[in-house]
Amino acid sequence: MRPSLFAASAVLAALSAAGCGPRVEERPPAPPVLPRTAELREALGKAYRESSREQLREFFENWYRCVHPAEPDPSAKDATLVFQAFYNPFESEIMGEKWTMDAYRGVSYVIVQTTLEIVDEAASVRDTPVVVKGFRPRLDLPGVKVLYLTDRYRQALLDFLGPDASSEEIGKRLEFLKPLVKILRGHWTGWHLETHPEVERMAFSQKGTRVAVHYRFGYGGGEAIFVKTGSRWVRTKEAGLTFWIE
């Protein structure tokens, strides 16, 4: 017989017992110990059923404390530096001009992708990209906390949103989450759980001194060009590909 699911309070207690203490950004992160997807789903569902904003915030706070940034794989060091220079949900540069982005205004947490595709700029579409998994870069975003979208949390959010829920019910669940995080419906189907911009791939030059960052923001996207100057990656005024819209 399968054990019954923990109540939300028991899940949160288990997180603390697992050693997920206060997050120390300046020290190498310890490997996280996470509860099962079912326990995460139950904690989130219980917060919703009881209309408890306190339980909802506690869910995200435990996520924040337990899933730490990770030191990059040496092969992805430059890709990590580029991502850190590029990622900003509140401001973007489109066609050479800076734009203030309002889509995520007021959120308390941002949800960051944990996989990254890297290719050679000369590669064809048939070439297999290098896929960096467990990608959890350190990010400095004043006023918000960074959550990393591990497989368990991804599934818990997808289960909470519910493939069988009515459109009206899904709308209520999104509104329940919105004060803390914002999740977008997919244009055609599915969800954008990650807080955009989402980097779809990075295409590096053969010399490794130039990279095109192909990204999505909401229902559009484009290309940002960075060049390496010393040990830093700097965005150029080059517009890259035309900004596209679904």
- How far apart are the C-alpha atoms of 195 and 142, rounded to whole Å? 15
Cβ neighbours of residue 187 closer than 8 Å, sequence gap 6 or more = 219, 246
Quick: pLDDT tens for 68-85.
999 888 889 999 999 999
Quick: pLDDT tens for 89-138.
998 765 455 555 688 999 999 999 999 999 998 776 667 889 999 999 99
Query: In the structure encoding, which two tokens stand for residue 86, read together?
Result: 């590029």
- How far apart are the C-alpha atoms of 239 and 216, rounded to whole Å? 15
Query: In the structure encoding, which two tokens stand for residue 126, read together?
Result: 């048939």
Query: In the structure encoding, which two tokens stand for residue 24, read together?
Result: 């120390």
- How far apart are the C-alpha atoms of 192 and 175, rounded to whole Å? 15
**One-letter amino acid of 182:** K
- Least Cα distance to 218 among 100, 84, 104 occurs for 104
Quick: pLDDT tens for 202-232.
999 999 999 999 999 988 888 999 999 999 9
Quick: pLDDT tens for 7-64.
444 444 444 444 454 444 443 344 456 678 999 999 999 999 999 999 999 999 999 9
pTM: 0.84
Tally of CB atoms within 10 A around 12: 20
Which pLDDT score, from 0 to 100, does residue 187 have?
81
**One-letter amino acid of 107:** V
Quick: pLDDT tens for 169-185.
999 999 999 989 999 98
